[in-house]
Amino acid sequence: DTEVTQTPKHLVMGMTNKKSLKCEQHMGHRAMYWYKQKAKKPPELMFVYSYEKLSINESVPSRFSPECPNSSLLNLHLHALQPEDSALYLCASSQGVQKQGWDGYTFGSGTRLTVV
Amino acid sequence: GDSVTQMEGPVTLSEEAFLTINCTYTATGYPSLFWYVQYPGEGLQLLLKATKADDKGSNKGFEATYRKETTSFHLEKGSVQVSDSAVYFCALSDRSGGSNYKLTFGKGTLLTVNP
């Protein structure tokens, strides 16, 4: 299995809703990432988990709450979002530290989120 | 900090034309370099990579050579197809957080290939 699977593919939510995005990989990768991508822009890093522990939070507002229940799963819990949070949310995974030859990320196909 | 600069698009070509998308970088240390491709409505896919100076990455007819002396990693393809229409991102890796690698992306270049 060489894929990162994200669900749902599309999500429309109101500003008072609570929803969760899910990400799963079975490649044995020990680093997992959440990225946010606005239209015609590069992905922006939100969170990094390494060995199931949060290692990087890029000053993301608290209405986004990540969770890594085990080495294969990554969730992003959403609450009280704003319309400007509408974007494509990408999950990625990678090997941990390598001496050299790090293979980069494997990305999921993303969840397209619309906040109304 | 590390940064990636790639040519602004959009780039529009006819089928079978030669493609070059320029990418230069600024980094401390010895980063690995990547090209990712994003087809409409999809996530990013790794197209090719190079981990050290003078390495050439290649895949699906695309090539890029890691040039340390010019800090460049230009993407080339000899004959593009309509199916190559996508957004192309140049990226470099940076070891951060002690146990992770983090990718820094360029702004992306939209390629449209017409029949």
3-state SS of B60-104 is CCEEEECECCCCECCEEECCCCHHHCEEEEEEEEEEECCCEEEEE
Determine contact, residues A41/A90, Cβ cutoff 8 Å. Answer: no
Question: Smallest Cα–Cα separation from B100: which of A64, A1, A69, A57?
Answer: A57
Q: Please count the residue pairs, one from chain A and one from chain B, whose beta carbons lie less than 8 angstroms apart.
A: 78
A116 contacts A14 by C-beta, under 8 angstroms: yes
**Partner A contacted by B39 (CB < 8 A):** no
pLDDT at A1: 67
Indicate yes or no: CB of B101 within 8 angstroms of CB of A107. no
Per-residue confidence in pLDDT tens, chain A, 116 aa: 669 999 999 999 999 999 999 999 999 988 899 999 999 899 999 999 988 999 889 899 999 999 999 989 999 999 999 999 999 999 999 886 554 556 788 999 999 999 99
Q: Residue B100: is its pLDDT beyond 90?
A: no
Specify the DSSP element, H or E, that contains A26: none
pLDDT given for residue A100 in this prediction: 53
Q: Is the Cβ of B3 closer than 8 Å to some Cβ of chain A?
A: no
**Within an 8 Å CB–CB cutoff, is residue B44 touching chain A?**
yes
B88 close to B37: Cβ distance less than 8 angstroms: yes
Of the residues B48, B101, B107, B109, the best mutation for testing chain A's interface (the one with the most A CB atoms within 10 Å of its CB) is B101
> How crowded is residue B51: how many other Cβ atoms within 10 Å of its Cβ?
19
The answer to whether B11 and B29 are in contact (CB under 8 A) is no
The Cα of B90 is separated from the nearest Cα of chain A by a number of Å equal to 10
Residue A23 φ then ψ, to 5°: -140, 140
